[in-house]
Amino acid sequence: MIRKSKFLGPVLIVALAMCSFAVSAASGDVITSESGSVTTVSGLEEGADVWKFHAGELKCTTVSYAGSFSSGASSVLVTPAYSGCTTAGLAAAIDMNGCQYRVNMTSGTSTEGSIDIVCIGSNEITVTAPPIGTKKCIKHIPAQTDLTALTGTNVGSGTTREITLDINITNMKYSQTAGTAETGNCTTADNTTGGIWTGKAIFTGSVTGAHVGIFLS
């Protein structure tokens, strides 16, 4: 079944942003489409997606993902889009700057895995608060690998089969830069570890606009 998002976000992971969603299998697990062909995949947040940093908590009201994969692929990349984000009572903007998420899964119907943040060159994800006017805090999330933990689960049957991803990451690396406002700036912190990202998303497949079942196998 196709569902509407309350927000995947943060994190976490909106209007759909076209991307490539990455699922790498450590022990032969693959993403299968019942169509047996190239399949479009879209993901929507369920519940709340939250990121926690030294400077506080970030929440977004809407998160979506989009991409495509060939049935039986062991790797798929996904780019999220975030909106309605706030932190410390301020509006915030998450800019992916070309970065994507790669999801790595092991085998089984309910499997543990990890997420990689993949960026081109020195690009990084930035979180800016507020996005307009004098900045109070900018967070920088660089490319990194093996963010854990992640659980993938098959749900539904036949053409309604979907994949849910439960995100409970506790080892995200980031830095933050203090803003220049008169008050309320965060503290500059470089190379910080222990950033937290929790959330849940459901991923749905389609071919030429028709819903098709996708599952881990």
Encoding tokens for residue 116? 């990689």
Mean pLDDT of the chain: 84
SS (H, E, C) 126-172: EEEECCCCCCCEEEEECCEEEEEEEEEEEECCHHHCEEEEEEEEEEE
How far is 96 from 19, CA to CA, in rounded Å?
Answer: 11
Tell whether the model's pLDDT for residue 180 goes beyond 50: yes
What residues does 50 pair with on adjacent strands? 59, 198
Q: How many CB atoms sit inside 10 A of residue 18's CB?
A: 13
pLDDT-wise least confident of 18-32, 143-157, 178-192, 194-208: 18-32
pTM given for the model: 0.82
Q: What is the pLDDT of residues 65-112, one digit of tens each?
A: 988 888 887 777 898 999 999 998 899 999 999 999 998 876 555 577
Q: Is 157 exposed, middle or buried (0-12, 13-18, 19+ CB in 10 A)?
A: exposed
pLDDT at 107 (0 to 100): 57
